[in-house]
Amino acid sequence: MSLELLDVFILVLYALLILGVGLYMSRSKGGVEKTSEDYFLASKSLPWWAIGASLIAANISAEQFIGMSGSGFAMGLAIASYEWMAALTLIIVGKYFLPIFIEKGLYTIPEFLEKRYNSQVKSVLAVFWVALFVFVNLTAVLYLGGTALDTIIGNGDGSMVIYCIVGLALFAAAYSLYGGLSAVAWTDVIQVVLLVAGGLITTYIALDNVTDSGGFFNGLLYIYDEVPEKFNMILEPNDTGYSDLPGIAVLIGGMWIANIYYWGFNQYIIQRTLAAKSLGEAQKGIVFAAVLKMIIPLIVVIPGIIAFVMYQENPEIAAQFTNANGTLMNDKAYPWLIATFIPTGVKGLILAALAAAIVSSLASMLNSTSTIFTMDIYKPLIKNGASEKQLVTVGRLSGIIALVIAIFIAPVLGGIDQAFQFIQEWTGVVSPGILAIFILGLFWKKTSAQSAVLGAFVSIPIALFFKIAPKGWSTMFIFPDLPFMHQMGITFLLTVLFMLVVSHFNNNGGDDKKGININKSLFKTSPIFNVISFAVILMLVALYSIFW
């Protein structure tokens, strides 16, 4: 499908706006050379609204627009638990984790590990995170973004995917690698307005077209009446998708492992809060992001359900969701809606919104990859006496290298169905162990450095055993064919138990010398944070009560 001239004009206008703002924010002020704090932490000058917008822009990408819509097509509204429970997770991170991180003046999350444990723990996890960002996060966002654009502006046969991947990569690099976090965060403010507005417009038009009579609310009621099972938030064992979202585990089980790891200890997310003017400003930004999180399912999950209803009703449409081998491709849901129903002009805006989601996440991941490599690997291990100018240069070069590697690897991901769920499952192999290291390091003063190092290595084979062990083996553990959320929960608990035992023997039952002293005053939050947090919690209770 080719774009009309008006759509192309809107896309070009968007690109020029983002590049203009990004390069303007990248400039050296007063002719003074950028320091590492300027480049990696935006001079610690971000206000709350920029932090909140940037958190969402970094998080929402093709992984959500394409992958989560595909999961909405396959399993329904239940996949929205990743978004709605993330809102509650953000509140917890803002109240209990941020005060400690900001008090310690961190540049990176691995830096916390050095201050709490030792440099060995930091180095191990720093190398791991750089590898994860390059080989999983960057490649997945590039591939999903390229696939989406190929479906919308190409023939959907994959012939344009590589060109789209390269174009997205170059666009993100054009301003983020030069300007650092400041350029990323300020352009994110524009990007998040675009992606939310564009997403809402797509949902509105799709709902308006799902019935003959038209209308947003008519469409919403119609899809609910047609597929009420797609609106169950808590899945039963016989429901489609139960192995991915196993019932009550989304509220009191393994989803907490995924969410707390991602929102609390993920560099490319938490880096925005570390760049805040103050702790209070960071907390207001994070609760603003929690509010935005509540509306995300409307723009990334509901479209997938709409596409499923149309797929069920029309054999001609159904044929468009299968590949040459006859395999159902759920992740075509969102691109198909755009290609089919969005009119000229508006399509350019929607494509700009999708590009904004992809590019903002790419820029964030690039910046965080270069931050960790420069501050946690290059500076302490390669050149301890590096100047500020050298650190900024290394940051830019490492970002370029990471991007080139990701471009070459991204096309290999072809053929993955429900990409969002695929990414969650494989990230879930490593997240339980990392979460155990951080949670015990933050809140249990007896945790030793040796237990953290050993815990990081032990957790992975534990997770892999539950994930890929022969089915006959799993019967030994009561839980045959264990859903991956249960795998994460059990891996986390076993890793914690292992670290508790090791720490006990390391410290003879006493406190570790680097244990963090916690006092209640550290977790005191402002009235506005408390009021908005309470409102978000009430909304969550209402949503899960209605769609249980």
Residue 91 predicted with pLDDT over 90: yes
Question: Residue 453 domain-assigned?
Answer: yes
Do residues 94 and 76 share a domain?
yes
| Structural domain includes residue 364 | yes
Same domain, 407 and 477: no
Model confidence over 125-143: pLDDT tens digits?
A: 888 888 888 888 888 888 8
The three-state DSSP-derived secondary structure of 418-440 is CHHHHHHHHHCCCHHHHHHHHHH
Residues 388 and 432 in one domain: no
Q: How far is CA 269 from the centre of its chain?
A: 8
Q: Within a domain: residue 32?
A: no
pLDDT above 60: residue 477? no
Do 214 and 265 lie in one domain? The reply is yes
Output the domain CATH number for residue 263. 1.20.1730.10
Whether 359 is in a domain gets the answer yes
* Higher-scoring residue by pLDDT: 34, 368: 368
> Between 315 and 536, where is the model more confident?
536
Q: Domain total for the chain?
A: 2
More confident: 285 or 103:
285
How confident is the model over 58-86, as pLDDT tens digits?
888 766 777 788 888 888 898 899 899 99
Q: Which domain holds residue 434?
A: 428-517
Per-position DSSP letters for 60-81, written without gaps between them:
-SHIIIIIIHHHHHHHGGGGGH
Residue 33 inside a domain? The answer is no
**What's the token pair of residue 376?**
């946690």
Co-location of 343 and 463 in the same domain: no
- 23 domain-assigned: no
Same-domain check for residues 444 and 347: no
Average the pLDDT over each of 147-161, 174-188, 213-227 and give the range with the smallest value: 147-161
In this prediction the pTM is 0.87
What integer is the mean pLDDT of 183-187? 80
Within a domain: 38? no
401 belongs to a structural domain: yes
Residues 93 and 213 in one domain: yes
How does residue 532 score in pLDDT terms, banded at 50, 70 and 90?
A: very high
Would you say residue 488 has pLDDT above 90?
Answer: no
pLDDT band for position 474 (50/70/90)?
very low
Domain co-membership, 376 together with 504? no
Are residues 410 and 439 located together in one domain of the fold? Answer: no
Burial 155-192 (b: 16+ CB within 10 A, else e): ebebebbeebbebbbebbbbbbbbbbbbbbbbbbbbbb
Q: What is the pLDDT of residues 312-326, one digit of tens each?
A: 777 666 666 666 565
DSSP H or E stretch at residue 306 = helix 302-313
pLDDT at position 22, please? 80
The residue ranking higher by pLDDT, 100 or 319, is 100
**Do 404 and 438 reside in the same domain of the chain?**
no
Whether residues 494 and 459 fall in one domain:
yes
Mean per-residue pLDDT over the chain, rounded: 82
Rounded CA gap, 154 and 133, in Å?
28
Residue 495 has pLDDT above 90, yes or no: yes
Q: For position 329, what pLDDT does the model report?
A: 67
Give me the count of residues in the chain: 548
pLDDT tier, 328 (very low <50, low <70, confident <90, very high otherwise): low
Q: Report the distance separating Cα 367 and Cα 176, nearest Å.
A: 7
Q: Give the dihedral of Cα atoms 438, 503, 429, 471; nearest 10 deg.
A: -150
**What pLDDT does residue 290 have?**
95
Contacts of 511 (CB under 8 A, 6+ apart): 445, 446
- Average of pLDDT values for 473-496? 73
Of 211-220, 252-261, 286-295, 415-424, the poorest mean pLDDT is in 415-424
If DSSP codes are grouped into helix, strand and coil, which group holds residue 509?
coil
* One domain, residues 493 and 344: no
**Of the segments 3-12, 265-274, 345-354, 401-410, which one has the largest average pLDDT value?**
401-410
